[in-house]
Amino acid sequence: MAGFKVTPEDRISATLEILMRWILVALLLLCALPLAAQSLGDVARAQRDDPKHAKSKHVITNDDLPVAQMQPSPTATISTASLKPIDRGQQVDVERAREQQRHVTELNQRLQLLQNEVNDLDRQRTSVRNSNVYGDPNRIQKNDEIRSLNEQIESKSRELAAARNELTEAMERANRTTVLK
């Protein structure tokens, strides 16, 4: 029998041909999938027409919400216009009340500045931490920088706590002299 000889190149060629046909079929099927999907407009129209998604006729406003008793926060400011004497017979020293107002305002500004500094330091620390990878040759310097930032954050946090305490004390002193409306 004068047989037909199949060489390895023929086998590879036949295998590649079959593989290419399967890839072509898969690509055609993948391209056809988006054509069968619903468009966003069709979904929106179906949802609009669905009775379960009907619009509410009542709109909730701030007037509908229950009113909670508001207590002045430690960062609240005192308005000299809203100050009343504790005892009706006692005169409120307006200049002292204004000085207390200025002091509370300065403390609020200092508190905000310290909080911003702590936030900035924390962002810097996060940035350095995120850039500190195991194979980095500057890893030791970055670890030292993180340690330094941690110390700065702790120091600023202590300053922040002291400023909050000072503000609370100033508010208490102001409240001993006057009463908020």
Per-residue pLDDT reduced to its tens digit, 74-127: 455 555 455 554 554 445 566 777 788 888 888 888 889 889 988 988 888 888
Three-state secondary structure string covering 50-89: CHHHCCCCCCCCHHHCCCCCCCCCCCCCCCHHHEEECCCC
Is residue 23 in some structural domain?
Answer: no
Range picked from 15-24, 67-76, 168-177 for highest mean pLDDT: 15-24
The owner of tokens 């391209």 is 31
CA distance 142 to 122: 15
Is residue 36 in some structural domain?
Answer: no
Is residue 92 in some structural domain?
Answer: yes
Contact 156, 117 (CB under 8 A): yes
**Count of domains for the chain:** 1
Q: Please state the pTM of the whole predicted model.
A: 0.45
Per-residue pLDDT reduced to its tens digit, 134-148: 777 787 888 888 899
CA distance 103 to 172: 13
Is residue 56 in some structural domain?
Answer: no
Is residue 3 in some structural domain?
Answer: no
Residue that wins the pLDDT comparison between 26 and 99: 26
Q: What range defines the domain where residue 86 resides? A: 73-180
Is residue 142 in some structural domain?
Answer: yes
Is residue 131 in some structural domain?
Answer: yes
